[in-house]
């Protein structure tokens, strides 16, 4: 089996372009929260992450994919490499990079942290996942934990001594968290006795740190049903008694065998088989799901980053392969004695590569924008800016999670196709990345759930306030693009489409208000797709404006900017025209699958 070829994972030039020319990240340094930082300090984190990703993490990817964790004697044993990798990941400072100094952080913007994380995800997503989940668990405790809970659990998580998980799903409940059955009973000493089962818990056990803390949803005794009776608990695999860590009655019931993300186990866990599993409540009673949504939304952005990163690594692999793989000759060439051409010379191969580029770089711009708005929502100086940014983050989160996963899978499939017969062989990496990518459309809420969230909640909330904010941002981008000299037809098409979508939301919202909720949500998956196309078109117009501005400066790099303009042209010519068909499906409530009876299948 050949060693993996050198792979940039992400384009450094594109990362700099997104930060410096598209969103102008230095603006964040004018905010009090980031006043001690500069573009140079941002670059230090990015340089450290990309160097570690390429030189250390990426060479371990194939090994962790081929040798997944094992289940022996009731414990999970992960690959020994994780004993080396995890401490070095912690040393990078990624666990606390965005957190304030009082918990050991640097208070860097999420925008910069997201891009640094993307390099690590592209290098070895399952190795990074332990760190990402631990950060999410610790941050949840930081916000909602009591001082005692923070000291007991948050601090060792942030120090990298323990790892964390989110333990929501149960075998009978799946994504329907109102059906959670795990029980929590007060023990009279400030702790709770936890009893029940969880499933699909990523990183639920490992042997490279001394403990794992499960942020667990459980139902407390009382009259409340549905989600109102659910609270949140910190449940360690081993609890502290004096100076020792002792067993806390959390058992691994089984290991799920996955098609991808092989380096991190997905487990079934049983709590309280011996009646001695203790948990510590986090946040107010009965508000567990509301608290957990902080970690869930962070995890959705993380899954979106994973989607972009996985598609990016495969895209760069495909470009390199296409440049060096000779096969065939130009169309019309009949002299078989002429040397074969690299396959990148063939138009259909360039079609596949351009589609990957449009998905990868459009998706990355979307994630960077979501992260930037999250920074403004938390730290902008005035309340109106914070509110508007918060609305945009809420609106974009379902798209930022699902678009990179669904379209990323398509991009990964194209990378396999570019490699031809070598693409589906395990000697080359594209097939492994394709397997990894498929999990992203399921992790942290399936695409169908994201569609219901977007149409059923986000676009209609507050009388459409988030959609109005989105339209204003689109207007600003159109104005920038016209000034920069971008084809005016692109901006006109974007604004026209944005208006059509706003009209559709008004119509669907009226149906929902009239009690026709099923009809309103019937095509929520199609609505998610059309809004994703629209949102990425917005980001491509912004990139086109920045590219035109770069060309006007005449400082070289014309190949990079022309590539951006070609990808933007592709999105406006091939993708944006698909929106009206999807709008029509939503508007008419086309009922082929709605009227389909189970016995007809």
Structure tokens at 474: 């689109």
Answer yes or no: are the C-beta atoms of 467 and 532 closer than 8 Å. no
Chain position carrying tokens 């089984």: 254
Q: Which of 406, 308, 323 is nearest to 357 (CA)?
A: 308
Give CA separation, 169 vs 16, 216, 336, 369, 402, in Å: 39, 9, 60, 30, 19
Residue among 142, 444, 542, 575 flagged as catalytic: 444
Q: Which of 492, 213, 543 is nearest to 357 (CA)?
A: 543
Structure tokens at 246: 């002792």
Rounded to an integer, what distance in angstroms lies between the CA atom of residue 555 and that of residue 553?
6
Chain position carrying tokens 């998610």: 528
Rounded to an integer, what distance in angstroms lies between the CA atom of residue 108 and that of residue 25?
12
Answer yes or no: are the C-beta atoms of 322 and 415 closer than 8 Å. no
Chain position carrying tokens 């594209």: 430
* 515: number of Cβ within 10 Å: 9
Rounded to an integer, what distance in angstroms lies between the CA atom of residue 120 and that of residue 133?
14
- Beta-bridged to residue 568, according to DSSP, are none
Task: Look up 72 and say whether it is catalytic.
Answer: no
Rounded to an integer, what distance in angstroms lies between the CA atom of residue 117 and that of residue 125?
10
Answer yes or no: are the C-beta atoms of 447 and 378 closer than 8 Å. no
Rounded to an integer, what distance in angstroms lies between the CA atom of residue 559 and that of residue 196?
58
Eight-class DSSP state of 95: T
Residue 301's H or E segment, with its range, is helix 288-324
Q: What are phi and psi of 360, to 5 degrees?
A: -65, -55
Q: Which of 575, 579, 578 is nearest to 355 (CA)?
A: 575
Answer yes or no: are the C-beta atoms of 317 and 5 closer than 8 Å. yes
- Beta-bridged to residue 214, according to DSSP, are 165, 235
Structure tokens at 579: 């929106």
Question: Which residues are tagged catalytic?
Answer: 444
């Amino acid at each position: 089996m050949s060693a993996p070829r050198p792979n940039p994972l992400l384009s450094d030039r594109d990362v700099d372009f997104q930060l410096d020319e598209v969103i102008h990240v230095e603006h964040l340094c004018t905010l009090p929260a980031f006043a001690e930082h500069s573009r140079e300090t941002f670059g230090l984190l990015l340089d450290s992450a990309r160097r570690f990703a390429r030189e250390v993490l990426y060479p371990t990817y194939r090994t962790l994919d081929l040798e997944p964790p094992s289940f022996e004697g009731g414990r999970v044993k992960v690959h020994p490499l994780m004993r080396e990798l995890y401490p070095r990941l912690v040393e990078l400072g990624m666990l606390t990079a965005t957190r304030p100094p009082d918990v050991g952080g640097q208070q860097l913007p999420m925008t910069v942290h997201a891009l640094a994380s993307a390099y690590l995800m592209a290098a070895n997503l399952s190795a990074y996942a332990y760190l990402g989940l631990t950060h999410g668990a610790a941050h949840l405790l930081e916000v909602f934990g009591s001082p005692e809970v923070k000291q007991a659990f948050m601090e060792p998580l942030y120090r990298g001594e323990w790892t964390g998980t989110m333990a929501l799903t149960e075998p009978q409940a799946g994504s329907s968290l109102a059906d959670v059955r795990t029980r929590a009973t007060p023990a009279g000493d400030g702790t709770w006795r936890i009893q029940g089962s969880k499933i699909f818990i990523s990183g639920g056990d490992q042997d490279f740190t001394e403990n794992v803390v499960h942020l667990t949803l459980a139902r407390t005794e009382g009259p409340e049903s549905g989600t109102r009776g659910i609270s949140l608990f910190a449940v360690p695999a081993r609890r502290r008694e004096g100076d020792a860590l002792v067993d806390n009655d959390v058992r691994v019931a089984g290991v799920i065998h996955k098609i991808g993300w092989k380096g991190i186990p997905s487990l079934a866990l049983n709590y309280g088989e011996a009646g001695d599993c203790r948990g510590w409540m986090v946040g107010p009673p009965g508000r567990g799901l509301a608290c957990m949504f902080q970690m869930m939304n962070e995890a959705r952005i993380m899954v979106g980053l994973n989607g972009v990163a996985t598609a990016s690594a495969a895209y760069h692999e495909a470009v390199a392969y296409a440049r060096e793989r000779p096969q065939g000759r130009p169309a019309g060439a009949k002299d078989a004695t002429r040397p074969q051409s690299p396959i990148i010379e063939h138009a259909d191969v360039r079609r596949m590569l351009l589609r990957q580029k449009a998905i990868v770089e459009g998706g990355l711009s979307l994630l960077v924008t979501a992260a930037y708005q999250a920074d403004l929502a938390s730290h902008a100086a005035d309340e109106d800016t914070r509110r508007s940014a918060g609305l945009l983050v809420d609106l974009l989160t379902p798209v930022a999670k699902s678009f990179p996963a669904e379209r990323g899978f398509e991009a990964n499939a194209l990378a396999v196709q570019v490699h031809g017969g070598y693409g589906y062989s395990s000697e080359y990496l594209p097939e492994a990345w394709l397997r990894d990518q498929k999990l992203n459309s399921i992790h942290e809420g399936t695409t169908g759930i994201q569609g219901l969230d977007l149409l059923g909640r986000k676009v209609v909330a507050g009388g459409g306030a988030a959609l109005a904010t989105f339209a204003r941002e689109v207007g600003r981008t159109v104005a920038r693009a016209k000034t920069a000299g971008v084809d005016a037809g692109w901006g006109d098409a974007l604004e026209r489409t944005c208006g059509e979508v706003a009209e559709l939301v008004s119509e669907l919202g009226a149906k929902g208000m009239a009690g026709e909720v099923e009809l309103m949500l019937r095509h929520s998956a199609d609505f998610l797709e059309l809004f994703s196309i629209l949102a990425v078109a917005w980001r491509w117009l912004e990139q086109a404006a920045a590219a035109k501005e770069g060309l006007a400066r005449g400082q070289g790099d014309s190949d990079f900017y022309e590539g951006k303009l070609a990808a933007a042209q592709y999105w406006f010519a091939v993708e944006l025209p698909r929106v009206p068909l999807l709008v029509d499906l939503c508007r008419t409530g086309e009922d082929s699958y709605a009227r389909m009876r189970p016995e007809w299948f």
